[in-house]
Chains A and B, each alone.
Chain A
Amino acid sequence: MDKALVIDVGKCTGCRQCELACSYEHTGTFNPARSRIAVFDFHEKGRFVPYTCTQCDQAWCQQVCPVGAITNEDGVKVVDAATCVGCKVCTIACPFGTVNYEPATGKVIKCDLCGGEPACAAACPTEAIVFTDVSVQGFEKMRAWAEKTDTAPQANA
């Protein structure tokens, strides 16, 4: 994966266009509840935080899936809805909370980067969400906090 969603929370105005775009791309409806990206509103701090899967290397969701329904497509972890049985074990194994069960379909959903053209980034009017080269510093920062979760087996070598 050479490109990733890089989120600059300082630029987010909380317009939630990303949620609508994501929902429309994946379900054909404008329903933020079915979006794979969620905007958190920390209004006391005047801050909005768009939040979604970082396609982490640990791939907790993929590792734990009992039926091989989550595949790694060039770094992007993609749920095959036809194979998913809806057991939800990935939703508790992902320590970031970015795989969710969707009662409407009986399957789990997560960000799949829209096959390489993320609708959220395209819809963001302020470039708070950009789909860009992973070498951009912001992405490393996002990954760094992900590492804070010391659930990861630590390789010493």
Chain B
Amino acid sequence: MHHLIIGAGPAGVRAAETLRKLDGQAKITLIDGEGEAPYSRMAIPYYLSGKIDEQGTWLHRPVDFYAENAIDLVPGRVASVDAGAKTVTLEDGRSLAYDKLLLASGARAVNPPVEGLDGDLVHHCWTIDDARRIAQLAHEGARVVLMGAGFIGSIILESLVARGADLTVVEIEDRMVPRMLDETAGSMLKRWCEKKGVKVLTSTRIGGVYEGGGELNIALSTGEAIKADLLVVAAGVTPNIECMHGTGVESRSGVVVNSRMETSLPDVWAAGDCAEGCDFSTGDLSTLAIQPVAVEQARVAAQNMAGIATEYHCALPMNVLETLGLITTSFGKHDGLQTGERATALDEEQWRYIRLEFHDGKLIGAQTAGHVNMIGCLRGLIQGRMPLGPWKDILLREPHRVAEAYVDLSRGVS
């Protein structure tokens, strides 16, 4: 039995580990498109801020882990897949046969249609190699512009400030992290960043980027122009599924998977940022490029590949973000339903906010700023579909008592 895994990020590595635990004999090959020691992108901000070295981003230390577990780590990028012949062809022409294939090829950062994003002073912050380049340019006092205050932008914002950069953030939407936080929380985060000395321009678009004399001239939709030593582009990601073209696999933005992480092709599974599966909050298909979903899907895929029928109960959108010390989170349908009910509590002086969304006597979504204690309960309540009973009325009045509600409901002492 040969399990072939395309991609050596958290999904690919977690699948390889799971397969090795379940089957001591199978041949396991992990194709690493970046040719690095397998690492987690989630650790990149901490590498950039100097909190950890490169090894601190590795998924396993020491890297001997793979050899010791007979996981064959093959550097290379996959050009194409022949699902009929069950072979994978790498860009260098090598061909590898498989019995079972897992597509865990992740996603990559994309550029919006803006002129001038291909220069040497413009970088994404997605791979460890991007981070190395940013580390060279984002020195003390460097003028750095960050395009995009979404989740990725806001998480690297802190690292850029920690490096001593003079930072300006440019965001198209009217607030920070618009897909995770509402106007209240997103605007609070903006004020927080401004208080910490970061310039945040919302409802502003970068019109064009022009390099000259060793610096960038960045034109804004407001008519102004700013000079910078580095532009970091954090404007979204797209699934890496090009290698599946021509296989006939069902795909939308990602490769479509069912609850067993099976694609529409026999003996081909997909997990992580490249997979499009059931979204807990909407019931529709979506790609939720987040670490918890990637590793959970990978484990389910690996168990099924090893012959243990396992179902995944839909992916719950959730994020946690720390921006210069202010911690924000969002879970599930954080913007609620028209037919639902809502509770909010705002303490501007203490930089605290909580918003809960209810439907049918249950919690369906939440977002918070400045709350850290027992925050995971929000996942438990939402994904456990726990009927709130008398707690719903209490939480409508006092949403900050959510952990208490969870403990009471889950311990059956109501």
Q: Does residue A100 face the partner (Cβ distance < 8 Å to B)?
A: yes
* Shortest distance between the CB of B330 and any CB in chain A (Å): 9
A156-B310 in contact given A67-B56, A92-B292, A95-B379 (Cβ < 8 Å): yes
Q: Contacts of A101 on B, CB cut-off 8 Å?
A: 327, 372
For the complex, what is the distance from the CA of A94 to the CA of B406, rounded to whole Å?
13
Fill in one digit per residue for A119-157: 1 if any B CB lies within 8 Å of its CB, else 0: 000000000000000000000000001101111111111
CB contacts under 8 Å to B, within A32-74, are: 38, 40, 42, 45, 47, 49, 51, 60, 63-64, 66-68
* Shortest distance between the CB of B112 and any CB in chain A (Å): 27
* Shortest distance between the CB of A96 and any CB in chain B (Å): 6
Q: Contacts of A153 on B, CB cut-off 8 Å?
A: 296, 299-300, 303, 310-313
Q: Does residue A86 face the partner (Cβ distance < 8 Å to B)?
A: yes
Q: Contacts of B411 on A, CB cut-off 8 Å?
A: 9, 49, 51, 145
Q: Contacts of A68 on B, CB cut-off 8 Å?
A: 58-61
* A-B contact number at CB 8 A: 161
Q: Does residue A98 face the partner (Cβ distance < 8 Å to B)?
A: yes
Q: Does residue B337 face the partner (Cβ distance < 8 Å to A)?
A: no
Q: Does residue A97 face the partner (Cβ distance < 8 Å to B)?
A: yes
Q: Which B residue's beta carbon lies closest to that of A102? A: B372
A91-B320 in contact given A68-B60, A97-B380, A151-B383 (Cβ < 8 Å): yes
* Shortest distance between the CB of B373 and any CB in chain A (Å): 6
For the complex, what is the distance from the CA of A66 to the CA of B58, rounded to whole Å?
8
Asked whether, in the complex, the Cβ of A100 is within 8 Å of the Cβ of B383, the reply is: no
Asked whether, in the complex, the Cβ of A151 is within 8 Å of the Cβ of B313, the reply is: yes
Mark the stretch among B38-46, B262-270, B345-353, B355-363 that contacts chain A: B38-46
For the complex, what is the distance from the CA of A25 to the CA of B177, rounded to whole Å?
39
Q: Does residue B121 face the partner (Cβ distance < 8 Å to A)?
A: no
* Shortest distance between the CB of B61 and any CB in chain A (Å): 7
Interface residue count for B (Cβ, 8 Å)? 60
Fill in one digit per residue for B278-322: 1 if any A CB lies within 8 Å of its CB, else 0: 000000000000011001100110010001111111001011101
Q: Does residue B376 face the partner (Cβ distance < 8 Å to A)?
A: yes
Interface of A is mostly: loop
Asked whether, in the complex, the Cβ of B40 is within 8 Å of the Cβ of A99, the reply is: no
Q: Does residue B377 face the partner (Cβ distance < 8 Å to A)?
A: yes
Asked whether, in the complex, the Cβ of A149 is within 8 Å of the Cβ of B384, the reply is: yes
Q: Which B residue's beta carbon lies closest to that of A156? A: B309
For the complex, what is the distance from the CA of A27 to the CA of B46, rounded to whole Å?
24
Q: Does residue A88 face the partner (Cβ distance < 8 Å to B)?
A: yes
Q: Does residue B1 face the partner (Cβ distance < 8 Å to A)?
A: no
Q: Which B residue's beta carbon lies closest to that of A61? A: B376
Asked whether, in the complex, the Cβ of A95 is within 8 Å of the Cβ of B292, the reply is: no
Asked whether, in the complex, the Cβ of B59 is within 8 Å of the Cβ of A151, the reply is: no
A-B contact list, 29 entries, CB within 8 Å = A40-B404, A45-B413, A51-B407, A63-B299, A64-B291, A64-B295, A64-B296, A66-B41, A66-B42, A66-B59, A68-B60, A83-B61, A85-B51, A85-B56, A87-B46, A89-B292, A89-B320, A92-B318, A92-B378, A93-B376, A95-B379, A95-B380, A96-B377, A97-B376, A100-B374, A145-B411, A151-B313, A151-B383, A156-B309
Given A83-B61, A92-B375, 19 more contacts at CB 8 Å?
Answer: A38-B374, A40-B404, A40-B408, A42-B413, A49-B407, A51-B407, A64-B291, A66-B43, A66-B291, A87-B320, A93-B318, A94-B376, A95-B376, A95-B384, A103-B372, A151-B380, A151-B383, A154-B311, A157-B307
